[in-house]
Amino acid sequence: MSFASNTLDLVIIGRSILSSYANPTAELYRGLINELAHHGHRTTFLEPFDAASMARRDLLRSPYCEVWTYQTVDILLDEYLPAIQSADLVMLGSGVPHADRIAQWLVQEARGITIYYDADLARTTQHLTAAGPQCTTCVSGSVLRDFNLYLSTTGGPALQRLAETCGIRCARPLYESIDPFSFYRMDIDKSYDLGFIGNYKANRTELIDALLLAPARTTPNRQFVLAGDGYPSDRCWPQNLTYLEHLPDTNHVDFYNRQSCTLILGRDDRRMMGYTPSRQLLAAAACGVPVLTQEWPGLSDFFEDNRELFCVREEQDVLDILYGMEDSGRRKVGACARERVLEAHTTAHRAQELLAFWEEVAD
């Protein structure tokens, strides 16, 4: 479907588009809706009131869609029924409180195409197989199958298994993406040989030690950097490692461009599922910085090892890349990754894919 074919009215219910605080889906929606708006499509975004998010909003208003906040689910169901019934496309995003009740309401009342967009397939799968208390921000399998379209930031066998288990008629991957005007290559001096950005996670400690801290200790005349919240205050860092407790989103492009290489480590559950290119991976690649990462199933569908990024398993792998190859070779890998992102993984590509999926199920 061409962007210019029709003007669509969309309603999206998600965690928040105005606050990215503890909410990675904010950037996901911002990029997608912004791209749709550039081509004339109108979006209304509905988000639940959350005091913590309100206090940490990084957008006072959205320049590309109407945003309305509802205090309770009852208010949502009562006041926004006309918007739901008049929309060409209604999307429910994962992570919204009382998701199952809202989902049932949408599939019953919406007259346009209904979509569930899952940004955490690992949590959904765990929810559907758990015998204990159910997750209030997840949708039950019996309701998922009633949506016209199920989209996920994870593709591959995990998505196919879920679709078969729940009887979902149309399940498609809609992966993460980046805005190339937000992440780009800068001609600035390199301050660090290797860096990593990510908040503290206990189950990632060994990986950080092996792939960042150990190389730093082995090469004390080189410079390394770690940025992220929550790391233990009594942690003894190598003297040649700079620790940044908090790095605003607006500084990420500068952070990546000041590294000769960057380390990208995703969540364990997403690595195990595979077929989930993270926004951090795409952002770093868009900046042209050579990426070091662990191998995961499906990675080769997005980037080619040793041509567009480097897969590492242990300290020696990192040292071989940092100091065992020419800088020109590393820069070439970074340039190839940037080209790959611009060819296939921008917000424009995702918006086109969304509209193509809409056309597929609308026929």
pLDDT at 131: 59
Q: Which residue has the higher pLDDT, 247 or 68?
A: 68
- Give the mean model confidence (pLDDT) for residues 286-291: 98
Least confident of 8-12, 51-55, 94-98, 235-239: 51-55
- Give the mean model confidence (pLDDT) for residues 76-85: 97
Residue 292 tokens read as: 């070091």
pLDDT at 246: 84
Res. 2: pLDDT tops 60: no
Res. 164: pLDDT tops 60: yes
Q: Which domains, and CATH codes, for the chain?
A: 9-177+346-362 (3.40.50.2000), 192-344 (3.40.50.2000)
Res. 92: pLDDT tops 80: yes
- In terms of average pLDDT, the best of 46-55, 241-250, 264-273, 338-347 is 338-347
Residues 6+ apart with CB under 8 A from 161: none
User: With contact defined as beta carbons under 8 Å apart, do 303 and 269 qualify?
Assistant: no
Percent of the chain with pLDDT over 90: 87
Cα–Cα distance for residue pair 19/57, rounded to 1 Å: 4
Least confident of 51-65, 170-184, 208-222: 51-65
The CA-CA-CA angle for residues 48, 201, 26, to 5°, reads 30
Res. 84: pLDDT tops 70: yes
Res. 3: pLDDT tops 60: no
Closest by alpha carbon to 84, among 119, 62, 124, 111?
A: 111
- Give the mean model confidence (pLDDT) for residues 218-224: 98
pLDDT band at 74 (very low <50, low <70, confident <90, very high): very high
pLDDT at 5: 65
Res. 137: pLDDT tops 50: yes
pLDDT at 133: 61
- Give the mean model confidence (pLDDT) for residues 194-217: 96
Q: Would you tell me how many other CB atoms lie within 10 Å of the CB of residue 107?
A: 18
Tokens 């969540």 -> residue: 267
Res. 307: pLDDT tops 90: yes
Res. 93: pLDDT tops 90: yes
Tokens 């003297």 -> residue: 239
